[in-house]
């Protein structure tokens, strides 16, 4: 009698947790919490797919203002496409959806990070290290994606924007491909062939320093908060109804929810 009155007095999650504790076998409790975690994760993925925060507002757009979807791959489970980004842990008295990706934390709460520019010497050392690693990998004529990837990263050509600066701001008129023996007109295409991105960046930086325009040595990158994690009020109602269904399924005996309970969740 006491149990029934207590059951009637409780509402919402308290009522469901009381039922789970009293009428569901211990080994089934873990099943229920695991199913709840997976359901919560599915709802969360759907919300992120629609680029919405838990309060119904849209994600803040990218810094460049584009509408390209964000964070769709940050909630991947185990399977194809890389390691798991989230996991569901279930116990007899609780379930946890755990994020394994630090990007989720930065995006959910927002962050401000300070980035320090690499010096030309640091760029040279990095280029040398990566080139040596690639050469060791490719010894014995081993080719493939790894070699191509690090080849592009080791010695990328200067960008079109860098070529424009070299011609229009720095003042290149002629450029050579053979150490000065033959010079050709410094078109954008020829400048891109003659200089790597690192070398072009160094020339531009030194030119601007001489003109009194010292480049930034560090800058801040601000990430606005976007609700990658968490559930909305509508999701909470769906989860409560789902839990009630699971309790009915695994209870020791047939139970019925109070009149109007499901209608309350649907409202």
> In this prediction, what percent of the chain has a pLDDT beyond 70?
77
pLDDT digits (tens, 9 = 90+) for 73-102: 888 776 666 677 888 888 888 888 888 788
| β 86-90/174-176 pair status | unpaired
Which tokens is 49 given? 């797919």
Backbone angles phi, psi at 52, to 5 degrees: -125, 145
**What is the pLDDT, as a whole number, of residue 216?**
79
Spatial contact of 84 and 78, defined as CB atoms under 8 Å apart: yes
Residue 201 has pLDDT above 90, yes or no: no
Spatial contact of 207 and 169, defined as CB atoms under 8 Å apart: yes
CA distances to 117, 157, 166, 178 from 160, rounded to whole Å, are 21, 9, 10, 22
Residue 66 has pLDDT above 90, yes or no: no
Residue 240 has pLDDT above 60, yes or no: yes
Which tokens is 184 given? 């050709």
41: Cα separation from own chain's centroid: 16
């Amino acid at each position: 009698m006491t149990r029934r009155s207590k059951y009637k007095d409780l509402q919402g999650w308290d009522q469901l947790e009381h039922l789970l504790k009293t009428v569901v076998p211990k080994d089934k409790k873990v099943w229920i919490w695991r199913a709840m975690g997976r359901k919560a994760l599915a709802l969360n993925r759907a919300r992120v797919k629609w680029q919405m925060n838990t309060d119904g507002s849209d994600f803040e757009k990218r810094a460049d203002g584009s509408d390209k979807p964000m964070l769709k791959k940050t909630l991947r489970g185990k399977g194809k496409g890389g390691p798991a980004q989230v996991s569901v842990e279930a116990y007899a008295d609780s379930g946890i959806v755990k994020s394994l990706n630090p990007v989720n934390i930065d995006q959910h709460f927002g962050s401000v990070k300070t980035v320090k520019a690499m010096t030309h010497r640091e760029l040279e050392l990095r280029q040398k290290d990566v080139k040596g690693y690639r050469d060791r990998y490719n010894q014995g004529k081993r080719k493939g994606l790894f070699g191509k990837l690090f080849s592009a990263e080791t010695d990328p050509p200067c960008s079109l924007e860098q070529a424009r600066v070299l011609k229009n701001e720095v003042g290149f008129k002629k450029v050579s491909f053979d150490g000065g023996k033959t010079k050709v007109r410094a078109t954008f295409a020829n400048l891109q062939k003659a200089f790597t991105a690192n070398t072009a960046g160094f020339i531009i930086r030194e030119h601007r320093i001489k003109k009194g325009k010292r480049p930034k040595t560090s800058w801040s990158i601000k990430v606005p908060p976007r609700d990658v994690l968490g559930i909305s009020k509508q999701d909470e109602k769906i989860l409560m109804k789902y839990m009630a269904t699971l309790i009915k399924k695994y209870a020791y005996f047939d139970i019925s929810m109070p009149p109007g309970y499901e209608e309350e969740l649907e409202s």
